[in-house]
Structure 1
């Protein structure tokens, strides 16, 4: 009973912190494109939230936070197969919610959070329900998003490994159907982005966690201790590495798959820890402690990222700059009784979310931060540091 209370306490604190973050960030251009672009399941999912909560930051972020909390619960349930000790499962959930990539997927409106949730639901169904339910759910995933193509590819190899002809056939059909409908994003001339993607993986998981996950996947391959989670994580990881030799890779399409290796990594770590005498367990405790400190520091940097502007000369170089400014600009415009304006396409699409549409009555131009030559200049500041400077001019149509 105490473990269940601690689990919900962890998730409750996590949800509260994420909800508080909704007021700290604005919609980004990529999110606005997804919201106002071609119709998709994720877009309809978010617009359903708007129906109940209105078109605002809370309505935009709440569905992703809900998917994130549900994913954490599913991970806890799935890990019962790998971790007998309940406290080990709780620590696994803590690591999961603190991963930088997971935090981003919980806050940002993109496919990563949906893919993590979809993968965990499938694994849970695979372990607890009949095969007809599994294949029905796979069909749903095929229709929902293009990023699930790598799941079907993983299941194809898993079917070959387990000699499951039905799985091989169905996963092949679903994979081909998915890429036929959505396409496969392979483009450009061969160019090396291997180091780039390895660095991004290290940032998504933190270096220590990523290196250990890589070690566990390799070790399980050598010892032939491979299962469904191994195939899902490894297939996507290898595919992303191969793709990086040709083009720049969008990590949000692949990192959710590698996250499924967490129960495998946790089991390997716990087993390695327990087979050693107490006098030799110190190095493992130190590794876990350092990893946890890294995760906490990364989480604090994400949640208190605006403080970083105090130490950055050029605000545009801030890692979260694209998530800032738009809401404050829209608020200033509404205070001036301006509900439509002409500006660059990226800012215009972001302002649209906050009720400022495109027109030719006013024009908004960004200025240098130190340029205060015009009386109608407006500056957006965080922590008393100037971040964005602009002026609004009324267009004379006579």
Structure 2
């Protein structure tokens, strides 16, 4: 799917490598929860839709309703995308599916209102690794103000925004949001290499340093996450 956003082979390889080594993705694989299924169906829909196989993509979107309740967030992001891009068929379908999701699964608003904004940011930092999360926020903001907003951006950006807004009131299950946010990896790679390549070699040192530091930080985050999971399983 990275072919739709990244033209160079090396960019696609870096994108796949980053995704494969994200602490959150590895954590989902170790815990064997629904997150990996959510990621699969999200990527499948995105691929089919970008290939303009609308019937197949709509079938997958309908099937998502019965896969997991977290797809309600996915429907919100797609609704905004369809609204901004004037995709009438997708707009109507996502509105119907979101309503059906609320009817089938509802939305938990119980409990005493409390702020979990900082906690949510911390979990996202674990999902990406701290440095990559900072760059993710930067990439989303840069695309918002300067670059073309595509389907992946709408999915990742609005999943992040909705989760942060809801975290001001209540504690969230981040597995309901994180699978959609990590889809932004190709966009992060694109923003990074676009910025890297417009500079002369003498002025690329900061980017190179950030790349190596992020890689080290990501591997360290993976080790900490695996250790924490193993420790919890032994208790």
Would you say same fold, with TM above 0.5? yes
C-alpha contact (below 8 Å) 2:126/2:221 kept by paired residues = no
One of 101, 115, 130 as aligned partner of 2:53: 130
Q: Which has the higher strand share?
A: 1
One of 143, 152, 164 as aligned partner of 2:87: 164
CA distance in 2, matches of 1:109, 1:144: 15
CA distance in 1, matches of 2:55, 2:118: 42
The two structures have a TM-score, normalised by structure 2, of: 0.95
SS in 2 for 1:261: helix
C-alpha contact (below 8 Å) 1:156/1:171 kept by paired residues = yes
The residue that corresponds to 2:128 in the other structure is 205
The C-alpha deviation readout for 1:297-317, integer Å capped at 9, x for no partner, is: 2233345x2xxxxxxxxxxxx
Aligned-residue offset at 1:109: 2.2
Q: Over the residues paired in the alignment, what is the CA RMSD in angstroms? A: 1.4
The C-alpha deviation readout for 1:151-171, integer Å capped at 9, x for no partner, is: 111111111101112111110
Counterpart check, 1:323 vs 2:233: yes
For the pair shown, the structure with the greater C-alpha radius of gyration is 1
The residue that corresponds to 1:83 in the other structure is 6
CA distance in 2, matches of 1:105, 1:129: 30
Name structure 2 gaps, 5 residues minimum: none
C-alpha contact (below 8 Å) 2:77/2:159 kept by paired residues = yes
CA distance in 1, matches of 2:225, 2:59: 38
Q: Which has the higher helix share?
A: 2
One of 25, 29, 33 as aligned partner of 1:102: 25
How many residues were matched structurally?
Answer: 235
Name structure 1 gaps, 5 residues minimum: 1-77, 306-317, 326-398
The two structures have a TM-score, normalised by structure 1, of: 0.57
One of 193, 200, 203 as aligned partner of 1:277: 200
CA distance in 2, matches of 1:322, 1:263: 32
CA distance in 2, matches of 1:235, 1:157: 8
SS in 2 for 1:187: coil
The residue that corresponds to 1:184 in the other structure is 107
The residue that corresponds to 1:141 in the other structure is 64
CA distance in 2, matches of 1:301, 1:193: 23
The residue that corresponds to 2:191 in the other structure is 268
Counterpart check, 1:115 vs 2:38: yes
